[in-house]
Amino acid sequence: MLTETKIASIASLFTNNITSVKNLNGFHNAIYEVSGDITFILRVAEGKREEQTNSEIDFLRYLHKNLVPVAPPIASLQNKYVYLVVVDGKYYTVSAYQKAKGKDCW
């Protein structure tokens, strides 16, 4: 099970200082808002999905570079966009994104 402590540990791949982790109740993936030095969205997908996620990241980076208003991916402290992590024997594919500007709709 992904506890807040485990999510914070995973999020530390992207920032050194974490002050809060908020579960945003994703549908297909676990989605969290992580706050600290920066605020970002952390996506945690069950399974080994590195290739698929890297393709999504490449497409988002292309769109952002060409001025399409998307929430771009964030590189980790090691300048990687996608990680495969193991928690309690289960594989998870992890990526992070800038938080989109806007309001909650519910």
Domain ranges of the chain: 4-98
Q: Give the tens place of pLDDT for each residue, 2-34.
A: 899 999 999 999 999 999 999 998 888 999 999
At residue 105 the predicted structure's pLDDT band, cuts being 50, 70 and 90, is low
Averaged pLDDT score across all residues of the chain: 94
Residue 84 has pLDDT above 70, yes or no: yes
pTM of the model: 0.92
Residue 78 has pLDDT above 80, yes or no: yes
According to CATH, the topology of domain 4-98 is Phosphorylase Kinase; domain 1 (3.30.200)
In Å, how far are 8, 46, 60 from 2, measured between CA atoms?
10, 11, 27
Distance, in Å, from the CA atom of 86 to the CA atom of 63, rounded to the nearest integer, reads: 31
Please give the helix or strand (H or E) that residue 62 lies within, else none. Answer: helix 50-65
